[in-house]
Amino acid sequence: MIRKMFKKNSSNKGKIDAFLDKYKLPKSYFGINRRSVTRGVGIGLFWGFIPMPMQMLAVIATTPFLKFNVPIAISMVWLSNPLTMPPMYYMEYLTGNFILGAEGIQDIELTMEWFKTNIGDIFIPLYVGTAFYSIVVTGIIYLILNRLWVHSVQSEKEEKMQHRKQREQNKHKHHKGKN
């Protein structure tokens, strides 16, 4: 099912290939296969959880080291956007405090002045929580997505086999009826 969804959306393959050839982009960075897609999701989420500017550039900077679907990775980074960042980073801050066994700051204000004043108190818990989500949660999501993809392919194969058996049985029934 997952694989079919990606394969359906790759119907403009000729246009995509022409674009890649025109700009001399490696096709492996646009691949629609289990490894490429799951790695793209994982890398995008990894960088998306980290509170830093230019997360998309971090995805691009990762390309010399790993082959993955770059558009999917970039779209995963967009999960952290101006609307989702405050709750994400607050959740990471709380998680960091929990991991460290710290109480943390109670009166949080979403102003630049407050952050400038309190950066020393929030920095370590925030990045401990960030490490947890970037490494552990992204790893779990990667493994689940990978397993879902494998299960989807196996289900598709089983479905085809059943369909093939059913056709053969119908053929035999049709053949016996003529005799």
pLDDT at 37 over 80: yes
* Contact between 47 and 8 (Cβ < 8 Å): no
- Each residue's pLDDT tens digit, 117-160: 988 999 999 999 999 999 999 999 999 999 999 999 999 898 88
- Each residue's pLDDT tens digit, 4-32: 665 555 566 677 777 777 767 777 788 88
* Contact between 93 and 122 (Cβ < 8 Å): yes
The 10 Å CB-count burial string (b at 16+, else e) for 123-139 is eebbbbbbbbbbeeebe
pTM over 0.75: yes
User: To the nearest whole percent, how much of the chain has pLDDT over 90?
Assistant: 51
The number of residues making up the chain comes to 179
Per-residue pLDDT at 30: 85
pLDDT at 1 over 70: no
Per-residue pLDDT at 73: 95
Instruction: Assign 174 a pLDDT band (cuts: 50, 70, 90).
Output: low
pLDDT at 35 over 70: yes
Top-confidence residue, 61 or 24: 61
The alpha carbon torsion through 64, 65, 69, 70 (nearest 10 deg) reads: -50
